[in-house]
Amino acid sequence: MPTPFIMPKMDMDQEVVTIIEWLKKEGEKITKGEPVVTVETDKITSDIEAPETGTLVGILYHENEEAPVTKVVAYILAEGESLSELPGSQENSQESLKPELAASAHASATTNLRATPVAEKMAASMNIDLAGVQTKGDRITKSDIEKFLAAPQTLPGGKVTATPAARRMSKENEIDLEGISGSGPRGRIQSIDVVNASTSFAQVSTPHTAPTPVKAANLVAGSSIPLVGKRKRIAERLTASYQNSPHIYLTVEVDMSRAEESRQRMNKLNEKTGKSSISVTAYLAKLVAWNLKRHPYLNASIVEDRIEFWEDVNLGIATAVSDGLVVPVIHQADQLGLAEINEQMRYLAKQARDGVLTREEVDGGTFTISNLGMFGIKSFTAIINPPQTGILAVGTTIRTPVVVDENDTIEVRPMMSMTLSVDHRIVDGAVAAQFLADLVRVIENPDMIIY
Amino acid sequence: MPEITYREAIRDAMVIEMRRDNTVFLMGEDIGTYGGAFGVSAGMLDEFGPERILETPISELAIVGAATGAAMVGMKPIAEMMFMDFILLALEPLMNQAAKARYMFGGKATVPMVVRMAGGSGTGAAAQHSQSLENILMTIPGIKVVAPSNPHDAKGLLISAIRDPNPVCFIEHKLLYKVKGEVPEGEYTLPLGVAEVKREGTDLTVVTSGIMVNKTLTVAEKLASEGISVEVIDPRTLRPLDTDTINASVKKTGKLLVVHEATKIGGWAGEVFAAVCESDAFDYLDAPMRRLAGKDCPIPYNRLMEAAAVPQEVDIEAEIRAIVSNAY
C-alpha cells in the first residue's frame, strides 16, 4: 500500500497551506526526514519533511496551489509498490482522492492522446507535453501547438517560465512570479517584469522602506500586482476575523509619567552596564502580560463550541516588515522579566526584518499588542488576530494638559491612548473595561506589579 | 605613440627579448632569408645570425620536439608554425612532452617555450590552412593559450609568453598581421590570464577573441548610436580563462553572447557558458546565452563560402539585435 503524504496542520485555526515549491519532483526518491515541499501559511514559510522513505508520486497539489491540511497531498511508494494499489473504496482512509489522480494513476496505461505527426514532431522537438495542449478536434494539430506556444507558458508542475535573473529578483523582493505577465518570448518573465511588479508593490505597501528600484524609470502607470502568497493570507485572515468575530472597541487615556520615569531610570542603569535600552513596547508588554494573567477571558480562545482559557500568556507583537505584517510571539511573557521581554522583542524584530522567523517564533500567540506610536498615531483600532480574543492598539504619547485632582488643577502630563479590540462573543464590554481599568492602574503605578 | 602593424609588434617583442636574453631564439620554416611566410621575422636574420634565427626542415614534429628539448636544458625557444593547422603534426611533443614535463619531473624541469602559429580563415587558403584550432589547444592541461587581438596586446603578451616558464601557444590571426595600432616603444608586458574589457556597456556582454574582437567592436560602435550598449570582453588568454571578469560583466548585463571563429561544437564558448552557470552569475542571466561560432564544416576554398563559414560583422550585428530584443 502506498503511504499517504499528509499535509500537517501547523496552526490551530489553519485550514490550507500554499504550496510554494516541491523540492522533490514526481518520481523522485525521498528519504524519511528530508525536506520535500516548501509551503507557506499566513505566518511563515516552512519545509515539510518526508514521513517515509520511498518514491514521491501522485502529487495532487502543484506549486502556487492551495492544499488542505490534514489531507493527502501526494503518496510515497516503497520498493515494488504502485499507485494502482490504492483501494477504490475509502474504507481505511478518510482522505478522498482528487479525481485527477484517479485518472492520472492509470493514464499511462490507457492514454489516448492523439496528435498529427507534425504536431507530435513539434512537441518532441520543443519538449512540449501534449497532455497540456488543448484541441477542439479529436487530434492535436500544428495550429493547436502554435496556440499553446503563444500563450503564457507554465512548465510541468505549474512552474512559470522565467529567466534566472527574474527568479533571483522575485526571491529578493519576495514577489510571487505567478501572475506577473512576462514580456519575453512565449510569455517568459524577464527581470524587467519583476522590476515593474516590485516597483508598484513597494509603492503600494511599504512607503517607509521601499527598496530602491533597480530601474525606477520603468514603472508602468496603472500596473498591478497579484494578491498572492503572504499578502493573500493576510487579506483572507483579517477579513475572516472581521466577519466572524464581532469586535467591540474601548479606548482609554493613560498617564505615562511614572512608567516613563521608571523606564528612563532603568535605561540610565542599562547605559552604565552597556545593556540595550528598554523600549516602550517592551515595558507595556510586561504590564499587559501581568494584567492578562488576572483577566482570563482576555487570554482565551473559542475552540469549536467551547471557550478555552490559556495557561500561558503568549504575547504577539505586530511587526511591520517590508512585504507586510508578521506577529512574532513572546512565549510565557507572564513569567519573564522586563529585560528578558525586551531582549526577546529585539531578537524577534530582527528575525522578522530578516524574514527568518521560525514557526515556533510565530505560533501560539494568545493576545497581541500593536504599537503605532512611533509613527505619531494618536489612536487607532486593530483587528483581532484569530483565534485570540483581544488586541491592544497603542498610540503615541503626547504631552497634554490634564486635570490631576479634585481642585481642578491642570498639569501637563505625557498621555498615551490605547484602544482595546475584543471579540464580543467571549468578552463583554464590562469585562474588557475592567481589564483596561486595571491596565491603566498598573501603567500609572508600575510598582503595583510587586503588589 | 607610434602606430605599427600587428606583424611589426610581434617582431618587436621577439627582437627585444632576443637582445635582452641570449637564450631566446627563433626556429621555424622559411623564417630566415625569406622572413617567414607572413613576413613576421623579416630582417631578424641580419641582426641575430643563423644560429638564433634557426631555419628548420619541413617537420613540425621536429620543430616542436627540438624546441621542447632546448627549453628543458635552459633555452627559451620561440617555435613558429607557418600555419596553425600544422600543429596537429606536433601534438605529440606539445601535448605529451612539453605540457607534462614540469609536472612529471616534479618541477625540476620547466619548458619555457613559445609556439607561435598563424591561424584563422579569410585568405583563401582553404580547409588545411585556415583553421582555428584553439578549441583543441585549450583542452591541454599544462600549456597556456594566448590569442591577441591587436598590435598593442600582441607585443605585451608575447614578451610575457617568452618569459613564462610554461609552454605557451601564441595564436596570431592571419588577417590581423597588417592591422595597425598604437604600440609603445621598448619593453612592456601584459599579464597572461587577465581579460580586458575592450568596451564597456550595459545591455549585453560579448566575449570574443582574436579578429572577432575587432569585428564586434565595429558593430558595438554602430549599435551605440541606436542606444544599444554592448560590453566587449577580450579574454586575451584563452587558457587560463579569466572567468571572473566575464562573470562580473554577465552580472551587470544579464545577457551573454560568445563569438569565436573556431567551430561551434565543442567550442570554447561552451566553456564560457559553463563558467557562468557554475558561478553566481547564473542568477543574473536574463536571456538564454548564445554563441556565434564557425560553422561545423571545413573552411571552404571559395571566398564567398569561406566568409559565410565564420561570423562576419553582419552576423554579429543581427545576433546582438536578436538577443537585446528578446527574440530568444
Model confidence pLDDT, tens digit, residues A163-217: 999 988 888 878 888 778 788 887 888 888 888 776 654 433 333 333 343 444 5
The answer, for A149 touching chain B at a CB cutoff of 8 Å, is: no
- Confidence band for A289, pLDDT divided at 50, 70 and 90: very high
Strand partners, A161: none
Cβ-count burial A58-97 (b if 16+ within 10 Å, e if not): bbbbebbeebbbebbbbbbbeeebebeebeeeeeeeeeeb
Give A-chain residues touching B326 at CB under 8 angstroms: 183-185, 190
Q: What is the pLDDT of residues B166-189, one digit of tens each?
A: 999 999 999 999 999 999 999 999
Residue A53: CB atoms within 10 Å: 15
State the best of A126, A149, A168 to mutate against chain B, taking most chain B CBs within 10 Å.
A168
Q: What is the pLDDT of residues A313-344, one digit of tens each?
A: 999 999 888 777 889 999 999 999 999 999 99
CATH fold match for the domains A159-230 and A246-450: no
Instruction: Select, from the ranges A134-148, A304-318, B21-35, the one with the highest average predicted confidence (pLDDT).
Output: B21-35
Q: What is the pLDDT of residues A69-90, one digit of tens each?
A: 888 888 888 888 877 776 553 4
User: Which residues, including other chains, have CB under 8 Å from residue A380's CB and lie 6 or more apart?
Assistant: A372, A393, A395, A419
Is-contact B119 B131, C-beta < 8 A?
yes
Question: A3-110: which CATH architecture?
Answer: Beta Barrel (2.40)
The answer, for B283 touching chain A at a CB cutoff of 8 Å, is: yes
Question: What is the pLDDT averaged over residues A34-56?
Answer: 85
Sequence spans of domains, chain A: 3-110, 117-151, 159-230, 246-450
Cβ distance A168 to B326 less than 8 Å, yes or no, reads: no
- How far off is chain A from B321, nearest CA to CA, in Å? 14
- Confidence band for B295, pLDDT divided at 50, 70 and 90: very high
Question: What is the pLDDT averaged over residues A231-256?
Answer: 89
Dihedral of CA A430/A434/A439/A440: which sign?
Answer: positive
Reported ipTM: the value is 0.75
Rounded to a whole number of angstroms, the distance between the first and last alpha carbons of chain A is: 63
Q: What is the pLDDT of residue A113?
A: 65
Cβ distance A163 to B326 less than 8 Å, yes or no, reads: no
- CATH 4.10.320.10 for the A159-230 domain, yes or no: yes
Q: How far is CA B86 from CA B29, B63, B128, B132, B268, in A?
A: 11, 11, 8, 11, 20
- How far off is chain B from A94, nearest CA to CA, in Å? 44
Distance CA A280, CA B286 (A): 47
> Which of B284, B326, B328 lies closest to A168 in CB terms?
B284
Topology given in CATH for the domain delimited by A246-450: Chloramphenicol Acetyltransferase (3.30.559)
The domains located in chain B, with CATH, are: 3-182 (3.40.50.970), 196-324 (3.40.50.920)
Q: What is the pLDDT of residue A202?
A: 41
Cβ distance A190 to B286 less than 8 Å, yes or no, reads: yes
State the best of B252, B277, B283 to mutate against chain A, taking most chain A CBs within 10 Å.
B283
